[in-house]
Structure 1
Amino acid sequence: MAVTSMKEDRKLAGRDNYALWNRAVQVSLGSAGLISHILNEPSTLVADVQGRYPLSGTPTNTERSKRLVAEYDLKKDQASAFSIVYGSLTETVQNKLPDHLVDFALPNPMGVTG
């Protein structure tokens, strides 16, 4: 997946344009239906999926399948949200991020925006 980018003048360059950047990122994520990925901890989103797709004592293939699809969709949405946030940072800011925040295997867009 390619990193989503925004106009250069709206990218986060430092604290001087943080308010404009924050608003632009929230609009981008909101329009994509991904705002929950910066408003909630990843564990909350996972718990929501597990609550919507509970497994019985002896889970059926259908139960497991529905949950796996929902978990896959959640991971895909997390990666999309992370891509929007990461693409909204100038290269200078991207390079200053600690390694644990730039983990494409376990993307956490909330960690970058928080």
Structure 2
Amino acid sequence: MTQAPRQLHELHDVYDFLDEIRLRPGIWVRWRSLQHLDSMLIGYHAAMCVHGVDEDFPFWTPGAVSPFDQWLWHRNGYESSLGWATEIEREAETAGTPAIELFFRLLDQYRAERRDAVR
């Protein structure tokens, strides 16, 4: 069963937001580019900070390495200064798969591992 799109006011966190993007990536992300998604998520985080919202946000940490970058480094077996969007786009190109699809597969893995770690 396909999930119906929700209105922005119905979303609770960045993961809900990303679930909406997953439903219709072509509407949300220009050219399905992870660079554009990364910029959008940085804007999301900036808005959270401006409005004093405290939320788990693993995609960008000003002045530090983000949790998602650290997870990706561990998964790939090396560190990179390029950031998660560029690294995933490179991996997708090598694998011949759309980068946005690879991002969502990796996001699912990241979230599953974090849930397992909490248990």
Whose RCO is larger (CA < 8 A, sep 6+)?
1
Q: TM-score, normalised by structure 2?
A: 0.28
Q: TM-score, normalised by structure 1?
A: 0.29
Q: Give the structure with higher Rg (CA).
A: 1
